[in-house]
Chain A
């Protein structure tokens, strides 16, 4: 066969390039534009170089919410991933009950973030909320509006309630894809339940777990709506995570320059951590 050697195929890449340019690159360049200038109005702008970056990187308010954000995302992953796997392992594999389970699991995923926030905001109230009222009746002091730890736990529980099913369903699909013969071989080899999990189920679930970890990390790292609806980031600053700090900075105080600089730092952090997860989880494949 005669192969034609020219660069015409690049034209085929053009539509995708344009699409990505409009959806991601152009908007991001606007942010870059803001991050290196001080813009007052259409006619007055000053180039400030890396000043905004220097400023936001030294801002203690951002340090605090960044730390809070990392602790929060770590908690989310540490709870939701093992819990999701455990739920998937317990789910029935066939018959009507597996369908029922799958439908039940999907329900939380269909609820919008702000509705979840509202549900828990009411559910947790001491006067009319079932959860808050019951806890208080049992003698456990619980008030997310005044106690930072309570607010924190509530936001975390909310996320676990909302998103563990995603991890569970991904794990479930990974588990279903394991051929029976692996389990049979393991029984012949007299493997314990733990060995089966460690050497068959976990490795075979790896690719779906990678997706689950990445999705849950990125999503939780960008959490905004739930704490905002619940307490508006309080009490104090206890549930003020990164995106809320950023929003306050950009829209509340109209500090567009620092906000733009911080957006880029924020983006790079997510990119870096996602890359670390990806590399760590796929590294084992190489010999």
Chain B
């Protein structure tokens, strides 16, 4: 049980990293609080697994420190860190039975056999493995094996943290949901810090209280699923979270606001001041498809867009619009009439985000 703090941490796989592009993890400082359920969300190759391996000690970071509570653990091996990690693909000890597999981490610590039996049975019950305890691990199916792998991670309750590296990749979809629930239960029961790496936003938001979104070796936002959805701090978060992702449009500053082509979007004065004071190379507006307002009838203040495609997803429809040459996705609720040919839309001010060089611009008083 520990609070895990990453202090100015950076990692590069090359011996002499030249620029920031040589880093798998760019310098970051981040805290995982004791007892939290966290998800580390990001696309393949963004450094999620590297970060996880650094926390568990399988990798040694090239710069910065890893703290467990008030101790720097950089030089401690995974064995000494007393941490559990579940890997993407199942790892079982083929020659052992399921019982011995689950007991292995405990026996390695010299836990007495009576306690080993209680713990293993407890975990087997949680993971529905009781029927298989006497079976050889080599004869299990892929998802049974993965459950055993997870069981080995969960069987020690004194660990500093449990790290999951996309553990449900090989699991059947209907079982995935069940296992995620199980993990959540275990988390509530034992109050262990859990970090769950995934590239699936649904998986992340059902498991975690707080999600860290990683992109290009950095954590670009750390927040609740709701925060990530409503106020993405980085264009990547906007794009990656939500289905479909946020609409991002390149804009230029104009008097009283910003605009593109013949579209003008007014900004509040505080925001105009912030924009004027910020140096930038690219400027984008972002608005979630859910937040684009579609008017039932032509309306003076609204913008007129061409409807190019309608996608019916059952409970809602996704419209693809063309607004002065920019493609725009809009999520339309079921009860709304589908506009034909032309749609009248507006961007509610509170949901319109402005990004300078991909980072959210926030005006001072907000």
User: Which among B77, B95, B149 is the interface contact of A185 at CB below 8 angstroms?
Assistant: B149
Which A residues are CB-close (under 8 A) to B79?
187, 190
If A188-B85, A190-B79 touch, whether A199 touches B95 (CB-CB below 8 Å) is yes
Q: Which residue in chain A gives the minimum CB-CB distance to B107?
A: A195
Q: How many A-B residue pairs have CB under 8 A?
A: 56
Q: Is the CB of A187 within 8 A of B96?
A: no
Q: Is the CB of A187 within 8 A of B77?
A: yes
Which B residues are CB-close (under 8 A) to A189?
104-105, 108, 152
B58 interface contact, C-beta 8 A: yes
Which A residues are CB-close (under 8 A) to B153?
188
Which B residues are CB-close (under 8 A) to A236?
none
Q: Is the CB of B91 within 8 A of A181?
A: yes
Rounded to whole Å, the gap between the CB of B230 and the closest CB of chain A is: 37
Q: Is the CB of B91 within 8 A of A190?
A: no
User: Which among A188, A192, A200 is the interface contact of B78 at CB below 8 angstroms?
Assistant: A188
Which residues from 82 to 121 on chain B have a C-beta closer than 8 Å to any C-beta of chain A? 82-85, 87, 89, 91, 93-96, 104-105, 108-109
Which B residues are CB-close (under 8 A) to A204?
94
B56 interface contact, C-beta 8 A: yes
Q: Is the CB of A185 within 8 A of B91?
A: yes
A189 to B139, CA, bound (A): 21
Which residues from 175 to 193 on chain A have a C-beta closer than 8 Å to any C-beta of chain B? 181-182, 184-185, 187-192
A287 to B57, CA, bound (A): 36
Interface centre among A187, A192, A195, A200 (most CB of B within 10 A): A187
Q: Is the CB of B83 within 8 A of A188?
A: yes
A15 interface contact, C-beta 8 A: no
Which A residues are CB-close (under 8 A) to B138?
285
A284 interface contact, C-beta 8 A: yes
Rounded to whole Å, the gap between the CB of A60 and the closest CB of chain B is: 44
Which B residues are CB-close (under 8 A) to A185?
85, 87, 91, 149, 152
A285 to B77, CA, bound (A): 34
A185 to B77, CA, bound (A): 13
Q: Is the CB of B105 within 8 A of A190?
A: yes
Q: Is the CB of B94 within 8 A of A203?
A: yes
Q: Is the CB of B93 within 8 A of A200?
A: yes
B135 interface contact, C-beta 8 A: yes
A287 to B97, CA, bound (A): 10
Interface centre among A181, A189, A195, A284 (most CB of B within 10 A): A189
User: Which among B58, B93, B139, B152 is the interface contact of A199 at CB below 8 angstroms?
Assistant: B93
Q: Is the CB of B83 within 8 A of A287?
A: no
Rounded to whole Å, the gap between the CB of A84 and the closest CB of chain B is: 21
Interface of A is mostly: helix
Q: Is the CB of B135 within 8 A of A287?
A: yes
Q: Is the CB of B108 within 8 A of A184?
A: no
Q: Which residue in chain A gives the minimum CB-CB distance to B163?
A: A188
Q: Which residue in chain B gives the minimum CB-CB distance to A199?
A: B93
A191 to B104, CA, bound (A): 8
A175 to B94, CA, bound (A): 15
A259 to B106, CA, bound (A): 61
Which residues from 113 to 170 on chain B have a C-beta closer than 8 Å to any C-beta of chain A? 135-136, 138-139, 149, 152-153
Interface centre among B56, B58, B84, B135 (most CB of A within 10 A): B58
Q: Is the CB of A284 within 8 A of B91?
A: no
Which A residues are CB-close (under 8 A) to B93?
199-200, 203
Q: Is the CB of A188 within 8 A of B104?
A: no
Q: Which residue in chain B gives the minimum CB-CB distance to A182?
A: B91
Interface centre among A185, A192, A200 (most CB of B within 10 A): A185
Which B residues are CB-close (under 8 A) to A192?
108
A184 to B49, CA, bound (A): 13
Which B residues are CB-close (under 8 A) to A191?
104, 108
A192 to B109, CA, bound (A): 10
Q: Is the CB of B96 within 8 A of A181?
A: no
Q: Is the CB of B58 within 8 A of A184?
A: yes
Which residues from 20 to 58 on chain B have a C-beta closer than 8 Å to any C-beta of chain A? 53, 56-58
**A-B residue pairs in contact (CB < 8 Å), sample of 30:** A181-B89, A184-B53, A184-B78, A184-B85, A185-B85, A185-B87, A185-B91, A185-B149, A185-B152, A187-B57, A187-B77, A187-B79, A188-B56, A188-B58, A188-B78, A188-B83, A188-B153, A189-B104, A189-B108, A190-B79, A190-B105, A190-B109, A199-B93, A199-B96, A199-B104, A203-B93, A203-B95, A204-B94, A287-B136, A287-B139
Interface residues of B (CB under 8 A from A): 53, 56-58, 77-79, 82-85, 87, 89, 91, 93-96, 104-105, 108-109, 135-136, 138-139, 149, 152-153
Q: A181-B91, A203-B93 are in contact. List 14 more A-B contacts (CB 8 A).
A: A182-B91, A184-B78, A184-B87, A187-B58, A187-B77, A188-B85, A188-B105, A189-B105, A189-B108, A190-B78, A190-B82, A199-B96, A200-B93, A204-B94
9 tightest A-B contacts by CB? A185-B91, A189-B105, A190-B108, A187-B78, A199-B93, A203-B95, A190-B79, A188-B85, A203-B94
Interface residues of A (CB under 8 A from B): 181-182, 184-185, 187-192, 195, 199-200, 203-204, 284-285, 287
